[in-house]
Chains A and B, each alone.
Chain A
Amino acid sequence: MLKTNGTEAEPQIPEPKAKTILSAAEMGARQREISVSEFFTKNRHLLGFDNPRKALLTCVKEAVDNALDACEEAGILPEVVVKLEVSANGGAVPAPSQANRFRVTVIDYGPGIVRQQIPRIFAKLLYGSKFHRLRMSRGQQGIGISAAGMYAQLTTGKPVQIISRTGARAPAHYFEVQIDTKKNEPRILEKKEIEWENHRGTQVTLEIEGRYQKGRASVDEYLEQTAIANPHVKLVYHTPEGETKEYPRTIDELPPQPREIKPHPYGIEFGILLRMLHDTRSHSLLGFLSSDFSRVSSHVAQEICKTAKLSAEARPRNIHGAAAEALYNAIQATKIMAPPSNCISPIGEKAILHGLYKQIKGDFYTAVTRPPAVYRGNPFVIEAGLAFGKGPGETAEKAELAAVPLAEGEQQDDDKELARVIRYANRVPLLYQQSACATFKSVLDTSWRNYGVSQSRGALPAGPMVIFVHMASVWVPFTSESKEAIADYDEIRKEIKLALQECGRRLGVFLRRRERAKSEFRRRNIFELYIEEVVEACNRLKGGKLPKEKLKEQLQKIAMKRTGGEKVDEILGYDGGGPEGLPYSIIVTAEGTEGDAPVLDVRDEIPKQQESLIQEVETTGAARSKSKAKSKKQPGAAKAEKASRPKSQSENQMSLGFEPAGANKKHGQKTGKKHGAKKAKK
């Protein structure tokens, strides 16, 4: 694609100085092939290496994404260690915020890589397993990690260091590779067998020019958001400051394995159809249609042939020009079933809920997974989640502050805070180009005011709120190679909006419920205040001879009765009942949590049974479908994970009093049942 029509590289003709007009031959002499690596060296911003800060993030991101993809494909619960170190480069070690050179190390305990493939995976652009198939994965093109290596080479000249081991009995291999940018081929600088403390897995080390800053679109944020969308992942992060942050695993179950699918006829472009016609192994058009596409039965294939006025027995290779065009149009005109959706593995409502609950302090959480939909022949699933509030700790603090009389205009500072949108594509957080993203636009489009949240025209909703949007698809349409924003397809926008609206509805229910309880409480307060006044006035009217205390008591009794009394406490959520009509939601109050709150537990070791799985995956692809069958998606699946081991609170958890595990289990079942019943009705 990057080739010009020139000949192979020839020795350059020295340029005559006086002459400004060139002959075609001279121009032809300058025309030569451009390698992908050269192209991306010059255009590194296309891959997310535009500035040192973003480059650091992109390197971490590519390495982590690869590690997670590998683990999941191999059926291993991922555990990833990310280490950022300031590289001294000879002189004194600068402070992390001042440093401009970093060593990035990412270790996983995944399947490892076979020795022969290591150099090409890490030092050849556009090499990988993910581009040619339609299967949901984080990586798509096979550019990421090798581009990071290229960037390292470009900025520090250091090679990529890799250690990989495929099993306890296999040796660990150490590689140092660089990329030959002219040829787009790996150059091996060092390879040897070494001793490695890990039984299995891969370690990548890059030394790059970068800048470490916290805050928006930082490595810290990326890892935090990754933890939200991937609660089955254990992440350990060694910051350049020497801190260690741990994001524990909340779900001990791998997401179901996505399946690879064939392209759907609707999503095919004309050029691709021509290529497929040329490359197919089928000998007849009928066979080609029914075996190379999904959802095309021989019946449908025959219909297409008839519409295109082509023989079903025609050789696919011989169809070009007008005939191919007729075929293409016939395909578009024929009614074909939507592509299968089992090729997508959404995160799931439970898992999103757990992820949000684990990472974000709030009063209310909810999650929605939409049924699969299709854009341009590609199936996709939209998921949305929402965390609202500041957590009971801060709410109580604010209540204390409010006790001091406020002057005019002193209140409502917090209302100006806008919601935060966290975006994901195939479980990968998207941190840049928010406003260009379909998800962000959909959040703006949703009228949050209907759900009791204030929103100015054309702005994000206001309030302490985190909005989570995830798109899972076999092919996520990004606006650029650096995968920063999801393109704006109508079908996608519509699905996102529907998901957000459902979240909003649940939030509205929660807010109204809380408001009602509050106003009920306020009512009683009002009466208590006014009773005092009324009693005093009555006493004066009666000439000061009134048994005041008695009257007050009587009135207070009536007030209690009239305002619901103990019922109010119930509405305030003190009785701990499950959230009514709010499936897949968690409500956190000062007294505890209700809903599907997870019980966190420790898992340090990988279970033995999975060890055997790995061997199979390496040899056959059949294991994939097997494990898929094993971990069928169920709404109440996460129940099993509620083991008996309660965990002491880690530093990343919220500071909440958790209910005993038994109580939680009850709620889980309650809502689970309710949800099930609802489904049955439908």
Chain B
Amino acid sequence: MARKKQKSNGAVEKKLVGVADLVITAAQRSQDPALAIPVRSLANVNFNEKRGIIEMGRRKQARTFFNVGMAKKFMQTVLVADALAELQRANLTTSLREIYYRTKHTIKNSHENTFDGQNESDPLIEDLEVTLEALREELHVRAENSGTVVGPLTLVDDGDRVDCTRLGKGGYSVPSIVEPEYIQISKCTADFVLLVEKGTQWNRLSEDKFWRRYNCILLTGNGQPPRGVRRLARRLHEEYHLPVYVLVDNDPWGYYIYSVVKQGSINLAFESQRMAIPKAKFIGFSSADPDRYGLPRNVGIKLNDKDINRAKELMKYKWFQKKEWQNEIKGMLTSGLKYELDALANKDFQYLTKTYLPRKLKDKDWLD
């Protein structure tokens, strides 16, 4: 999977070697080596209302070696730093899983493994990203390609021209790294970007050539959109000034996906300034829609406890404080039901493409 990258960056390598230096200096001074890792939790994010994005706070957490609770994590962090430095030197990119395998081995004179699962190594990579202020792409780590795009858009990927109008129903698979040095947008004639939560709905729109009729770019991230998709949407928004509309299910998770696109996520708050699209609009599926579009009550799904709790959590987030949004979430809670986009098929297979979206766009019926 590893492949060559055009430019090598000595600065990132230096940062990684810094981890080793930290250990060495601490040892010389008979001190406990400690990494100061910014806290990645709700408690340490601030919503910048002016910029409309989530920013990471200044709180940091010390990860020290000589502490029973943290010793293993510290050791693992150093191992991951070592593996990342190796990538830099070899000028290769790799996946999270390969990092896990690369760093996994049995500790000498014991039956203990350095890592027991990928779930142990993944957060450490994020930790290093924040701590060293290096982006994931700069660390040469990529995620799975899990986004797709079609529409009047031409990209240059590794020197290959990709015309997204000529890719059939399948579309172009968005790589996890879409920085200008990897992918260049050579042409874009669309009027707006439609980011769809679900692959199934994206397929419907793609099959119906919705993008052709309404001259838009169709993007999906198959659930929570990965960084590549978010970054691509942001670049289209920034470089071509295209408005971005988000189409998600009517449930708390859908709302959150929208907020991640718009303001950024809590976990990756440090990436917001690069990824967030504060002007993105929520086009649907709104809790008022079943009424407005005459959807029968029996296609709804009862909210479970988890949904209700999540919805209440969302209502407390600073970036959901707008009156419309409070009403929107309250509307869902009072109805006690959630709706999937797929439920629109109850009316007609092409209801989404032929009636729902056109009407929404015409009426400018969206939430900000």
A551 with B66, Cβ < 8 A, contacts A534-B78, A541-B85 known: no
The verdict on A196 contacting chain B, using a C-beta distance below 8 Å, is: no
Q: Quick one: which of A245-276 are within 8 Å of B by CB?
A: none
Say whether, besides A537-B81, A562-B32, A555 and B71 are in contact (CB < 8 Å). no
Instruction: Say which residue of A534, A542, A559 sits within 8 Å of B74 (CB atoms).
Output: A534
Contact, CB under 8 Å: A538 / B78: yes
A533-B107, A546-B24 given; A557·B30 CB < 8 A: yes
Known contacts A533-B79, A538-B23, A558-B32, A526 near B68 by CB under 8 Å: yes
Q: For the complex, is B112 an interface residue (Cβ under 8 Å from A)? A: yes
What separation, in Å, do the CA atoms of A562 and B68 have in the docked complex? 10
Minimum CB–CB distance from B138 to chain A (whole Å) comes to: 17
Which residues on A sit within 8 Å (CB–CB) of B90?
Answer: none
> Is there an interface contact between A541 and B30, defined as CB atoms closer than 8 Å?
no
Distance from A150 Cβ to chain B, minimum over Cβ atoms (Å): 66
| Residue B110 is within 8 A (CB to CB) of chain A in the complex | yes
Residue-wise interface mask of B (91-113) relative to A, using a CB-CB cutoff of 8 A (1 in contact, 0 not)? 00000000000000001111110
Which residue from chain B places its CB closest to the CB of A533 in the assembled complex? B75
How far is the CB of A407 from the nearest CB of chain B, in Å? 11
Q: Which of B53-80 contact A (CB under 8 A)?
A: 65-66, 68, 71-72, 74-75, 78-79
The answer on a CB contact under 8 Å between A534 and B65 is: yes
Cβ contact of B66, chosen from A532, A533, A562, cutoff 8 A: A562
* B24–A538 touching, CB < 8 Å: yes
- Please tell me the size bucket of the interface on A: 20 to 34
Closest-by-CB residue of A relative to B107 is A529
DSSP majority for the A interface? helix
Q: Interface 1/0s, chain A 33-44, versus B by CB < 8 A? A: 000000000000
Contact B65–A530 (Cβ < 8 Å): yes
- A554 near B19 with CB under 8 A, answer no
Which of B17, B66, B110, B111 counts the most A-chain CB atoms under 10 A from its CB?
B66
Tell me the chain A residues, 534-551 only, with Cβ under 8 Å from chain B.
534, 537-542, 546, 551
Distance in angstroms from A549 CB to nearest chain B CB is 12
CB closest residue in chain B, given A522: B68
Q: B104 → chain A, closest Cβ, in Å?
A: 12
B114 interfacial contact with A, CB 8 Å: yes
Task: Please state if A555 and B27 are interface contacts (CB–CB under 8 Å).
Answer: yes
Of all chain B residues, the one with the shortest Cβ separation from A539 is B20
- B72 near A526 with CB under 8 A, answer yes
Partner of A527, one of B17, B20, B66, B112: B66
Residues of B within 8 A of A554 (CB): 27-28, 30
Q: Is B177 an interface residue (CB 8 A)?
A: no
What separation, in Å, do the CA atoms of A563 and B67 have in the docked complex? Answer: 9
Judge if A158 is at the interface, Cβ distance under 8 Å: no
CA distance A343 to B115 in the complex (A): 68
B16 lies within 8 A of chain A by Cβ: yes
Residues of A within 8 A of B72 (CB): 526, 530
Asked if A532 meets B82 with Cβ closer than 8 Å, knowing A526-B71, A537-B20, the reply is no
Instruction: Choose among B71, B86, B108 the residue with the greatest number of A CB atoms under 10 Å from its CB.
Output: B71
For the complex, give the distance between the alpha carbons of A532 and B82 in Å: 14
User: How far apart sit A558 and B28, CA to CA, in the bound complex (Å)?
Assistant: 10
A238 proximal to B (CB < 8 A): no
Q: Are A534 and B23 in contact (CB under 8 A)?
A: yes
CB distance B68 to A523 under 8 Å? yes
| B69 CB, nearest partner CB in chain A, Å | 10
Inter-chain CA distance A631–B78, complex, in Å, is 70
Out of B71, B82, B110, which one reaches A540, CB within 8 Å?
B82
CA distance A363 to B19 in the complex (A): 46
How many B residues have CB within 8 A of the partner chain? Answer: 32
Interface-centre pick from A529, A559, A563 (highest chain B CB count, 10 A): A529
Does any Cβ of A come within 8 Å of B41's Cβ? no
Is B119 in the interface zone, CB < 8 Å from A?
A: no
Residues of A within 8 A of B74 (CB): 530, 534
Q: How far is the CA of A526 from the CA of B71 in the complex (A)?
A: 8
Partner of B31, one of A530, A538, A540, A558: A558
Q: Is A405 an interface residue (CB 8 A)?
A: yes
B68 CB, nearest partner CB in chain A, Å: 5
Chain B residue numbers with a CB within 8 Å of A534 are 23, 65, 74-75, 78
Query: What are the residues of chain A within 8 A of B111 when measuring CB–CB?
Result: 405
From 101 to 146 in chain B, residues with beta carbon under 8 angstroms from any chain A beta carbon are 107-112, 114
Q: Is the CB of B20 within 8 A of A529?
A: no
Known A-B contacts A533-B114, A558-B30; the reply to A542 vs B20 at CB < 8 A is yes
Q: Which residues of B contact A562 (CB under 8 A)?
A: 32, 66
Q: Determine which residue in A405, A533, A540, A551 has the highest number of CB atoms from chain B within 10 A of its CB, and name it.
A: A533
What B residues does A561 contact at CB under 8 A?
30
Residues of chain B with a CB closer than 8 A to A555's CB: 23, 27, 65
Chain B residues 14-43 with CB under 8 Å of chain A are 16-17, 19-21, 23-24, 27-28, 30-32
Assuming the A-B contacts A542-B17, A559-B66, are A530 and B82 also in contact, with contact meaning beta carbons closer than 8 angstroms in the complex?
Answer: no
Which residues from chain A contact B68 at a C-beta distance below 8 Å? 519, 523, 526
B24 is contacted by which of A405, A530, A540, A551 (Cβ under 8 Å)? Answer: A551
* Most chain B CB within a 10 A radius of its CB, from A523, A539, A540, A561: A540
The contact string, 1 if C-beta is below 8 Å from chain B, for chain A 399-411, is 0000001000000
Complex Cα spacing A139 to B316, Å: 77
15 A-B contact pairs sorted by A residue (CB < 8 Å): A529-B108, A530-B74, A533-B75, A534-B74, A534-B75, A537-B20, A537-B82, A538-B20, A538-B82, A540-B85, A541-B81, A546-B24, A551-B27, A554-B30, A559-B66
State the A residues within 8 Å of B (CB): 405, 519, 523, 526-527, 529-530, 532-534, 537-542, 546, 551, 554-555, 557-559, 561-563
Closest 10 CB pairs of A and B: A541-B20, A554-B27, A538-B20, A530-B75, A537-B82, A562-B66, A537-B78, A405-B111, A540-B82, A533-B75
Given contacts A527-B71, A532-B109, A533-B108, 11 further A-B contacts (CB under 8 A): A405-B111, A526-B72, A527-B65, A527-B66, A530-B65, A534-B75, A534-B78, A537-B20, A537-B81, A541-B78, A555-B27
| Chain B interface (Cβ < 8 Å from any Cβ of A) | 16-17, 19-21, 23-24, 27-28, 30-32, 65-66, 68, 71-72, 74-75, 78-79, 81-82, 85-86, 107-112, 114
